[in-house]
Amino acid sequence: MPGTVTLVLIYEPSSGSGSFPVARIDDKDLAMAVARKAIQIAKRRARRLSVVDPDIGKQEQVEAKRLSDLLAILLPSA
């Protein structure tokens, strides 16, 4: 899949008046680190929810896997 992954830093004011991009970052190493962290957070959320509600936890595990699979396609080294 040819293309690039660009990270976008977005500012969201606490007033809720609308968000706007602050910076675009084209750095593959940083994108891979963010991808790994996003997967880690998704898996942690799934484990936490599994304790409260096994069905919701299972659904979150599926979502974490889907995120991992997609990021593996977009960033093969992630």
| Residue 1 resides in a domain | no
| Residue 67 resides in a domain | yes
Q: In terms of Cα–Cα distance, which of 34, 41, 35, 46 is closest to 69? A: 35
The domain in which residue 34 lies consists of 7-74
| Residue 13 resides in a domain | yes
**35-68 tens-digit pLDDT:** 999 999 999 999 999 999 999 999 999 999 999 9
DSSP 8-class letter at 3? -
pTM of the model: 0.81
Total domains in the fold of the chain: 1
**The pair of three-digit structure tokens given for residue 36, joined into one six-digit string:** 């790994």
pLDDT score, position 78: 56
Q: Rounded to the nearest 10 degrees, how much is the dihedral formed by the CA atoms of 65, 70, 75, 78?
A: 0
